[in-house]
């Protein structure tokens, strides 16, 4: 959302929560469309996404245009009072494109072609692909610019592809030339003195294709940066075409949750609306926390309300064992998204397919049809969202705590040849978020170079790469009175993945009171280390460190084993350093204490385990993630917007129960 005049989600919602989903009517005979509209109205659907995978239908032969069917659908939706999120179909080119233009097909790192017959078989670097994508986008934008059903544009779908082919190699070289200017600068940044990798010509540089042994890590890191940038170029090229026709209609592209391939901070700057697809596993005891993490991250990228573009009404079909959602869970997780800032609750997809690769993936209307339990629950969700929409949409959530996350650091940390394969970046991020979530602290996410001054507590689960600007930002934050908690493997490398002298940036070592970082002692799977203090003993997991600290900085020590007596947790003033990952309960306790000292408290006191509370604007959302009823103290008198009942001081929530309380 770069310029203030850009359209925003509010232009599409107009005081209602958008409710609906991906609609793929091309899979159905036209009679079904009328049935669909009837059921959509019945369920309170006010938004459908059309055209995501329609390229072959719209352009069955090169240059042909078949818009008639889409004209009829746009009109039908408008007559039914249903807005359309119109997608560019560019994530799945028609088979003719690959046949006539093999240069549009990407190659993997082993040189294998990704053929048509699935989806997302396009090369981000292919000039032919980009030309064809621009042409169909232009014609769509021109045709539907003035259509009254159009509420939002949806570009492509889950940009996530890689390409190691020749055209991508040429584009990579151009990208590198622009970044480094000279080969000397590239050789220096990549450390090519190692293993005789020095380049004497730009032409010698390749994507990090299949190699005999470990690849150059900075080459891999730059290739990830390049890939994210190339995909973004594809996206903004379509966006710019669309904006020429409909500057007043917001544009989005849907992110996958915590997807490694895109620097979502950077991407979000280019969107009017940030949207995400979210599929927690209904059997995962931490499914709700995973959902909360993605919701917090998406809200932070959006800097305000965001769009849940896809979720499943029931089972997905891409896990080993695909469980449906037990009764009530779909409602709970939909309202959780709203609690955490969503102004749109949508699904993949409206009607469950009978053919194709996703026929066993649920839809809002499942194979069981309108009598099915899923559709009945969808109706309830639609009705409830309609009830609360006017009071919720546009309202904000304020958090005292921020978790820092950066894709570049993740890319550098997630490579071969590291101290431990047990340290998984997203898992570490989840552990810290879980501790804060279970402590009922509301958290934002932030980029390490963002202004952090609004937060009382900043948590860095792991930022292996920190730029100088980020380090200065953290130091300034602490100097300005903020409390900082850093996990291990932070500040180790610079932006080129060059290890900083001393194994960790000197400014950070001073901040935490680390004199010498002698060795890292990663732990094997399931292995733990005993620690004592600061409040009580705990066990550390994943990692430990042999470090020497300033005596006054010692906050907890390792007990027993090789590191007996060495510091486990350091504290200097408001700066904390954890050289191990405490087990979940201990991390929650430790962070609660630190947060409370920093002036950041839980949303409500005395919340039972498994009950989540979020304040959004004036509203208090209380969500019971447990299968047993829960009694929650909610001091004062409130109105539950979902039921219309008055609630005074005490709230009883049944299994998966939710209340939306207004004072």
Rounded-to-integer distance, Cα 310 and Cα 308, Å: 6
CB 51 → ligand GAL: shortest distance, Å? 12
Q: Is the peptide bond before 349 cis (omega within 30 degrees of 0)?
A: yes
Token code pair at residue 248: 């007043």
Catalytic member of 114, 158, 167, 612 = 158
Task: State yes or no: residue 277 binds ligand GAL (CB under 6 A).
Answer: yes
Task: State yes or no: residue 157 binds ligand GAL (CB under 6 A).
Answer: yes
CB 254 → ligand GAL: shortest distance, Å? 6
Is 158 in the active site?
yes
Phi-psi region of 357 (alpha: psi -120 to 50; beta: other; left: phi over 0): alpha
Kindly tell me the burial class for residue 395, based on how many C-beta atoms sit within 10 Å of its own C-beta (0-12, 13-18, 19 or more): middle
CB 617 → ligand GAL: shortest distance, Å? 30
Nearest to ligand GAL of 256, 460 (CB atom): 256
Rounded to 10 deg, the angle between the 166-180 and 183-190 helix axes is 100
Residue with the CB atom nearest ligand GAL in the bound state: 348
Nearest to ligand GAL of 92, 137 (CB atom): 92
Length of the chain as a residue count: 663
Nearest to ligand GAL of 34, 318 (CB atom): 318
CB 400 → ligand GAL: shortest distance, Å? 33
Task: State yes or no: residue 164 binds ligand GAL (CB under 6 A).
Answer: no
Nearest to ligand GAL of 158, 377 (CB atom): 158
Rounded-to-integer distance, Cα 280 and Cα 291, Å: 6
Q: Which residues inside 546-585 make contact with ligand GAL, applying CB under 6 A?
A: none
Is 377 in the active site?
no
| 3-state SS assignment for residue 520 | strand
CA count, 13 A, side-chain hemisphere, 44 = 22
Cα 35 to Cα 74, 81, 83, 108, 302: the distances in Å are 15, 15, 17, 43, 35
Nearest to ligand GAL of 92, 580 (CB atom): 92
Helix, strand, coil in percent for the chain, rounding step 5 = 35, 20, 45
DSSP character string of 276-345: EE----TT-TTHHHHHHHHHHHHHHHHTS-EEEEE--SS--SSSSS-PPPPTTHHHHHHHHHHHTTEEEE
Q: How many residues bind ligand GAL (CB under 6 A)?
A: 9
Nearest to ligand GAL of 358, 589 (CB atom): 358
| 3-state SS assignment for residue 78 | helix
CB 362 → ligand GAL: shortest distance, Å? 9
Nearest to ligand GAL of 340, 361 (CB atom): 361
Task: State yes or no: residue 189 binds ligand GAL (CB under 6 A).
Answer: no
CB 316 → ligand GAL: shortest distance, Å? 5
Contact (Cβ atoms closer than 8 angstroms) between residue 125 and residue 166: no
Helix H, strand E, coil C: the string for 546-615 is EEEECHHHEEEEEECCCCCCCEEEEEECCEEEECCEECHHHHHHHHHHHHHHHCCCCCCCCCCCCEEEEE
CB 154 → ligand GAL: shortest distance, Å? 10
Strand order through the sheet with 306-310: 251-252, 150-154, 83-87, 47-50, 18-23, 342-347, 306-310, 275-277, 254-255
For residue 461, give the DSSP letter.
Answer: S
CB 22 → ligand GAL: shortest distance, Å? 6
Site string for ligand GAL, 293-322 (x = CB under 6 A): -----------------x-----x------
Position among 16, 239, 361, 500 found at the interface with ligand GAL (CB under 6 A): 361
Position among 347, 348, 375, 432 found at the interface with ligand GAL (CB under 6 A): 348
Nearest to ligand GAL of 94, 513 (CB atom): 94
Catalytic member of 114, 310, 438, 612 = 310
Task: State yes or no: residue 158 binds ligand GAL (CB under 6 A).
Answer: yes
Strand partners, 519: 546
Nearest to ligand GAL of 153, 348 (CB atom): 348
CB 311 → ligand GAL: shortest distance, Å? 9
Task: State yes or no: residue 505 binds ligand GAL (CB under 6 A).
Answer: no
Task: State yes or no: residue 238 binds ligand GAL (CB under 6 A).
Answer: no
Neighbours of 313 (CB within 10 A): 26
**Active site amino acids:** 158, 310
Site residues (CB under 6 A) for ligand GAL?
157-158, 277, 279, 310, 316, 348, 358, 361
């Amino acid at each position: 959302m770069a310029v203030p005049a850009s359209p925003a989600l509010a232009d599409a919602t107009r005081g209602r929560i958008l409710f609906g989903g991906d609609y793929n009517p091309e899979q159905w005979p036209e009679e079904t469309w009328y049935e669909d509209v009837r059921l959509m109205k019945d369920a309170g659907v006010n938004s459908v996404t059309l055209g995501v995978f329609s390229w072959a239908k719209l352009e069955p032969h090169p240059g042909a245009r078949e818009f008639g069917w889409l004209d009829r659908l746009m009109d039908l939706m408008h007559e039914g009072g249903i807005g359309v999120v119109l997608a560019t179909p560019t994530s799945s080119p028609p088979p003719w494109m690959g046949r006539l233009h093999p240069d549009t097909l990407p190659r993997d790192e082993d040189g294998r072609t990704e053929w048509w017959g699935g989806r997302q078989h396009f090369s981000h670097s292919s000039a032919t692909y980009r030309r064809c994508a621009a042409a169909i986008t232009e014609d769509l934008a021109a045709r539907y610019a003035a259509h009254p059903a159009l509420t939002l544009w949806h570009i492509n779908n889950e940009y996530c592809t890689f390409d190691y082919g020749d055209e991508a190699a040429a584009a990579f070289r151009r990208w590198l030339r622009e970044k480094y200017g000279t080969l000397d600068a590239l050789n220096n940044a990549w450390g090519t003195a190692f293993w005789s990798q020095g380049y004497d010509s730009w032409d010698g540089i390749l994507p990090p294709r299949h190699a005999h042994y470990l690849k150059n890590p900075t080459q891999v890191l730059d290739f990830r940066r390049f890939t994210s940038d190339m995909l973004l170029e594809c996206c903004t090229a379509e966006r710019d075409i669309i904006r020429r026709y409909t500057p007043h209609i917001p544009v989005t592209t849907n992110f996958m949750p915590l997807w490694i391939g895109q620097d979502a901070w950077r991407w979000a700057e280019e969107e009017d609306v940030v949207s995400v697809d979210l599929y927690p596993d209904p059997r995962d005891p931490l499914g709700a926390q995973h959902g909360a993490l993605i919701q917090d991250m998406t809200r932070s990228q959006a800097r305000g309300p965001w769009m849940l573009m896809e979720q499943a009404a029931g089972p997905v079909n891409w896990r080993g064992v695909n469980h449906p959602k037990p009764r009530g869970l779909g409602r709970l997780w939909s309202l959780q998204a709203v609690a955490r800032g969503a102004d749109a609750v949508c699904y993949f997809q409206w009607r469950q397919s009978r053919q194709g690769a996703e026929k066993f993936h649920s839809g809002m209307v499942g194979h069981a049809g309108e009598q099915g339990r899923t559709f009945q629950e969808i109706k309830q969700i639609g009705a409830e969202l309609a009830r609360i929409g006017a009071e919720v949409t546009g309202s904000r959530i304020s958090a005292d705590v921020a978790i820092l996350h950066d894709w570049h650091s993740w890319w550098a940390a997630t490579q071969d040849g590291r101290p431990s394969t047990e340290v998984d970046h997203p898992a570490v991020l989840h552990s810290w978020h879980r501790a804060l979530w279970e402590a009922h602290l509301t958290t934002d996410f932030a980029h390490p170079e963002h202004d952090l001054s609004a937060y009382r507590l900043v948590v860095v689960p792991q930022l292996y790469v920190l730029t100088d600007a980020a380090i200065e930002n953290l130091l300034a934050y602490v100097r300005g009175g903020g409390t900082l908690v850093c996990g291990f493997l932070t500040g180790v490398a610079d932006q080129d993945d060059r290890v900083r002298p001393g194994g960790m940036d000197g400014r950070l070592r001073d901040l935490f009171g680390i004199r010498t970082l002698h060795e890292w002692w990663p732990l094997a799977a399931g292995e733990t280390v005993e620690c004592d203090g600061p409040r009580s003993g705990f066990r550390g997991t994943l990692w430990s460190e042999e470090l020497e600290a300033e005596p006054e900085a010692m906050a907890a020590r390792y007990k027993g084993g090789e590191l007996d007596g060495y510091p486990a947790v350091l504290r200097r003033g408001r700066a904390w350093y954890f050289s191990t990952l405490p087990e979940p309960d201990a991390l929650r306790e430790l962070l609660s204490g630190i947060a409370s000292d920093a002036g950041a408290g839980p949303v409500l006191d005395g919340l039972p385990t498994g009950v989540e509370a979020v304040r959004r604007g004036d509203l208090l959302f209380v969500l019971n993630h447990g299968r047993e009823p829960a009694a929650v103290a909610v001091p004062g008198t409130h109105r539950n917007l979902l039921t219309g009942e008055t609630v005074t001081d005490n709230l009883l929530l049944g299994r998966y129960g939710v209340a939306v309380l207004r004072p």
